[in-house]
Amino acid sequence: MTTNSPTKITATSEKEIIHIVARQRDYFKSGATKSYQSRIENLNKLKSALVRYESEIHAALKQDLGKPAFEAYLSETGFSLLDISETISKLKRWMKPKRTLTSLLTQPGSSRMYYSPLGVNLIIAPYNYPINLTFSPLTAAIAAGNTAVIKTSEMTPACSAVIRTLISETFTPEFIAYIEGEVQETTLLLQQKFDHIFFTGSPRVGSIVMSAAAKNLTPVTLELGGKNPCIVHEDAKLDIAVKRIVSGKFLNAGQTCIAPDYVLVHKSIKEAFLSKLKDRIISVYGEDAMASPDFARIKGVAKIGCLYRKIKTLPMKSPFSVFELNLLIFNDICKYFATPLHSER
């Protein structure tokens, strides 16, 4: 078990939040964010900042989530940098008006579709991919000519501290602002009028976000968790199947919304599948995953308890063999998931 000194989270007052949103609305109305040149300049500034802070970001990911360096680059910084580069290369084409059909009612004439920025955006990032799901939606917001207010999870204080510093050094708060705090600050933000809200998290909190947005008819993008079955039939190539399943499930210790969270295995290959799955896990992470430098950790003792309670209720008999991957892990190698990275009070 590793114990790290907690990073202090400073609360943001309601007055400050109202002031920041108002300043951003005035800045957006000035037209400063709308030109192609402005968007490209700010995307390049964001890209340079991410490169400059890459080592600090990776260290924070290690502290908050136990992410190994390669995984941090693959799923966080590298992903975000690629997203920015792709956006820069295609932005001019995306901004061009597009010809579209003209209805008979409005003939004679011609029609074009113009893409206009919405205004002040709110980005609420989750704990599991705090860098990727902060900077990828921010990239989209900047590319579309918007301003943005960012609120990260209180569960990743080290990452939040780096994001706060990066944002404050790179952009002015009337353009991109970082709001520090916990649940109370998120609640206060949702009481403000935004022009678009991007939220990643659970369906339960997503419904709260959507309800708050509906009061102002604010459009939302909700990236929520779901169920992701993985079917392994009798004719499957098991060596390939277990490699893909282990890769998808164990990335970020399974804390990925599209990770396979249960497997439907044909009964004729059940034992062979289980044997190969266990062998693959050990070949990647070793006999003692706690000592592996390539394995992240579940964030929070409460989440581990919730996971364990869920496992205890799983059905064990079915026409097909139905197994949660986490159950397989707890049966034979419980410690792979059940060790929190930090001690918590």
* 294 vs 44 pLDDT, higher one: 44
Q: Report pLDDT for 300.
A: 64
Residue partners of 72: CB distance under 8 A and separation at least 6:
57, 58, 61, 62, 131
pLDDT in tens, 10-20: 788 999 999 99
Mean pLDDT score across all residues of the chain: 87
Q: 3-state DSSP call for residue 309?
A: helix
Residue partners of 186: CB distance under 8 A and separation at least 6:
124, 151
pLDDT in tens, 187-217: 999 999 999 999 999 899 999 999 999 999 9
**Is residue 79 a contact partner of residue 153, using CB atoms and an 8 Å limit?**
no
pLDDT in tens, 51-97: 999 999 999 999 999 999 999 999 999 999 999 999 999 999 999 99
Q: Report pLDDT for 10.
A: 77
Per-residue pLDDT averaged across 26-34, rounded? 98
Q: How many helices (H) and strands (E) does the chain have?
A: 13, 10
- Whether 4 has a pLDDT exceeding 50, the answer reads no
Tokens of 179: 């709001």
* 54 vs 303 pLDDT, higher one: 54
pLDDT in tens, 246-261: 999 999 988 898 898 8
Q: Report pLDDT for 287.
A: 86
**Is residue 107 a contact partner of residue 51, using CB atoms and an 8 Å limit?**
no
Question: In angstroms, rounded to a whole number, what is the distance separating the alpha carbons of residues 248 and 280?
Answer: 13
- Whether 335 has a pLDDT exceeding 80, the answer reads no
Question: In angstroms, rounded to a whole number, what is the distance separating the alpha carbons of residues 100 and 81?
Answer: 33
Q: What percent of the chain has pLDDT over 90?
A: 73
R_g over Cα of the chain: 23
Residue partners of 341: CB distance under 8 A and separation at least 6:
1, 2, 64, 65, 66, 297, 298, 299
Residue partners of 213: CB distance under 8 A and separation at least 6:
190, 194, 197, 219, 220
Q: Report pLDDT for 336.
A: 39
Confidence of residue 290 (pLDDT cuts 50, 70, 90): confident
Confidence of residue 333 (pLDDT cuts 50, 70, 90): very low
Confidence of residue 311 (pLDDT cuts 50, 70, 90): low
**Is residue 164 a contact partner of residue 39, using CB atoms and an 8 Å limit?**
no
Residue with tokens 């190698």: 333
Q: 3-state DSSP call for residue 301?
A: helix
pTM: predicted TM-score of the whole model, two decimal places: 0.85
E strand or H helix at 287, and its extent?
A: none
| Ramachandran quadrant class, 286 (left: phi over 0; alpha: psi -120 to 50; beta: rest) | left
| Lowest-confidence pick of 30-34, 46-50, 99-103, 285-289 | 285-289
**Is residue 220 a contact partner of residue 47, using CB atoms and an 8 Å limit?**
no
Residue partners of 183: CB distance under 8 A and separation at least 6:
154
CA dihedral over 32, 162, 44, 256, signed as positive or negative? negative
pLDDT in tens, 106-148: 899 999 999 999 999 999 999 999 999 999 999 999 999 999 9
Q: What percent of the chain has pLDDT over 70?
A: 84
Q: Report pLDDT for 262.
A: 85
| Omega before residue 117 within 30° of 0, cis | no
Q: Any idea which residues carry the catalytic annotation?
A: 223, 257
